[in-house]
A = this chain, B = another copy of it.
C-alpha cells in the first residue's frame, strides 16, 4: 500500500498549506493593515504557486496511476477520488491561463468596486468581457469536450449538472412567485424600531453562536464588512457585522456563518488535513448555513426564545408578543439586494443570476446587453424596476472575480436544507419544544451525526440522500415555506 501512503503523506502538507492560504484570507478581511495589500498579493501569489506545483506534481500523477484499479476501503477511495479531482483540475488548466486569470480577476474586482460606486455598468463591461473570455477558455480546458458550464459548476458542486439544477429551479420559480404575490397582498407586519447598542448586539450574537454549538476553543468571532466563515479542522473562524437599527442583520449573519463553521468543526477528526477534512461542496455547505439560519433560527419556536433574549438585552423595542416578533424576523418586503432578501424571495434573486450567467457563457447573451437583460428579468420577477446599477447588475462581486457556476449553489443549498429539515422533523418530533427554550442540541446533533461528520467522504448528492432519506428536490422546501408563511401571513 506504499503508493497510497506516499500520496497521503504528500497531500497532508498540501492540505496544511491550503489551510494557511485560508488563514491569510481571514487576516486580510479582519486585521490586515490597509497598506499591506501589495505585499500580501505577492505573498498569496507565492503560496498559490507552491500549491499549484504541489497539486500538479508528477509524483501525484504516478501515485494515482499506481492506485488505478486497486481495491480501497471507502475512506481511502474517497481520498483518492478527491485528490484525483484536484490533480486533474489543476493539470487541465495551463499555468499561463491560470496566472492570467488570477491577475485579470484581481484587477477586475477593483474595477467592479469602482463601477458599482459610480453606478456605471459601461465602465465595468469591458473588463467583464475579458473575464468571461478567460473563464470560457478555462471552462473549455476543464470540460475537455464536455459542457463548459457544467465544468464550471463542478468546481463548486461536483456531480451536479445545469440540467439537474434546471429541473429543480424550474419548479421553484413559479411556486415562489405565487407565494410571494400572495404574501405581498397581505398587511405588512410591524418591524423593530429604535437603536440597538452594538456591543449588546455582539454579546447576544456570541450567545447565539454558543447556542448553535460553535466552539470558540477552535474558532473566534470578529467583525468584518462581509460576514464569512474561514478554515477547517481545529481553526474555523467566523465574522459578523452590526447595524445600529437592524439587530437581525447581526444575529442571522452570525447564525448563518455558525452553520458553515459548525459543518467544518464537526467533521470527524480522523479526516484532519486530508481531502475529507472539509465540507464536500458549496451546496452542502449552504444547506448547513441556511438550515441553521432559517429552518431553525427563524422558526416560530426559536424566535420565541430569541424574543426573550432581546427583551433582556434591549428592553422594549416596539414589539410586544412572540407572534409579532416571529413575523418581524420573517418579514417579506420588496428589495433589490440578494443578500438582504427574505426566505421567500431569496431564490428568485439567485435564479435570475443562474439564467443570465448560463446565457453569457453560452454566448446567447452579450456583455453589452447584460444590464438590460438583468433589468428586464428583475421587473418580470419582482414587478418593479431596478433604479440603479448598484442595486442591479453590479450588486454582487462574484462575476468580477470569475465565479461562474457559483450562484446556483446558494439555491441548491436551500433545496438541500428543505430536504434535511424534513428528515430532521421526523427524527426529532419534539424539536419545537426544545427550540422554544433555546436548545438547538437535538437539531445540530442530528445534522452532525447524519451529515457534518462525514466531511468529504460521500459525494454531495449522496450525503444529502443518506441524511434526508430522499432524492433531493424542491418540494420539501416549498412545502415548508408555504406552511410557515401561510401561518405568519394568514394566507
Of B20, B39, B47, B237, the residue contacting A234 (CB under 8 A) is B39
A273 close to chain B: CB less than 8 A: yes
Q: How many residues of A contact B (CB 8 A)?
A: 38
Chain B: CB-nearest residue to A222? B31
Give bound CA distance, A43 to B23, whole Å.
Answer: 11
> Given the complex, which residues of B lie within 8 Å of A27, measured CB to CB?
23, 27
Q: Cβ of A47 and Cβ of B20 under 8 Å apart?
A: yes
Q: Cβ of A16 and Cβ of B46 under 8 Å apart?
A: yes
User: A6 CB to closest chain B CB, in angstroms?
Assistant: 15
Q: Cβ of A33 and Cβ of B235 under 8 Å apart?
A: yes
Q: Cβ of B16 and Cβ of A42 under 8 Å apart?
A: yes
Give bound CA distance, A235 to B31, whole Å.
Answer: 11
> Given the complex, which residues of B lie within 8 Å of A103, measured CB to CB?
none
Give bound CA distance, A40 to B235, whole Å.
Answer: 8
Stretch at the interface among A74-82, A212-220, A301-309: A212-220
> Given the complex, which residues of B lie within 8 Å of A20, measured CB to CB?
20, 24, 43, 46-47
A50 close to chain B: CB less than 8 A: yes
A341 close to chain B: CB less than 8 A: no
A233 close to chain B: CB less than 8 A: yes
A27-B27, A46-B16 known; A39+B216 contact, CB < 8 A: no
Q: Cβ of A17 and Cβ of B43 under 8 Å apart?
A: yes
User: A232 CB to closest chain B CB, in angstroms?
Assistant: 9
Q: Cβ of B12 and Cβ of A217 under 8 Å apart?
A: no
A210 close to chain B: CB less than 8 A: no
A20-B24, A31-B31 known; A39+B273 contact, CB < 8 A: yes
Give bound CA distance, A26 to B224, whole Å.
Answer: 20
Q: Cβ of A38 and Cβ of B234 under 8 Å apart?
A: yes
Of B32, B36, B47, B216, the residue contacting A33 (CB under 8 A) is B216
A13 close to chain B: CB less than 8 A: yes
A272 close to chain B: CB less than 8 A: yes
A49 close to chain B: CB less than 8 A: yes
Q: Cβ of B220 and Cβ of A31 under 8 Å apart?
A: yes
Q: Cβ of A35 and Cβ of B273 under 8 Å apart?
A: no
Of B46, B50, B215, B216, the residue contacting A12 (CB under 8 A) is B46
Chain B: CB-nearest residue to A265? B35
Q: Cβ of B220 and Cβ of A13 under 8 Å apart?
A: no
> Given the complex, which residues of B lie within 8 Å of A43, measured CB to CB?
16-17, 19-20, 23
Give bound CA distance, A46 to B273, whole Å.
Answer: 11
A45 close to chain B: CB less than 8 A: yes
A12-B46, A34-B217 known; A39+B23 contact, CB < 8 A: no
Q: Cβ of A33 and Cβ of B219 under 8 Å apart?
A: yes
A202-245 vs B, CB cutoff 8 Å, 1 = contact: the mask equals 00000000000001111110000000000001110100000000
A-B contact sample (20 more), CB < 8 A, given A16-B47, A36-B234 = A13-B45, A13-B46, A13-B50, A16-B39, A16-B45, A16-B46, A20-B24, A20-B43, A20-B47, A23-B24, A23-B43, A31-B31, A33-B217, A33-B218, A33-B237, A34-B217, A35-B218, A35-B234, A39-B233, A40-B234
Offer 30 A-B interface pairs, CB within 8 angstroms, sorted by A.
A13-B49, A13-B50, A16-B39, A16-B42, A16-B43, A16-B45, A17-B43, A17-B46, A19-B39, A20-B24, A20-B43, A20-B46, A23-B43, A27-B27, A31-B31, A31-B220, A33-B216, A33-B220, A34-B217, A35-B217, A35-B218, A36-B218, A37-B234, A39-B234, A39-B235, A39-B272, A39-B273, A40-B234, A40-B235, A50-B50
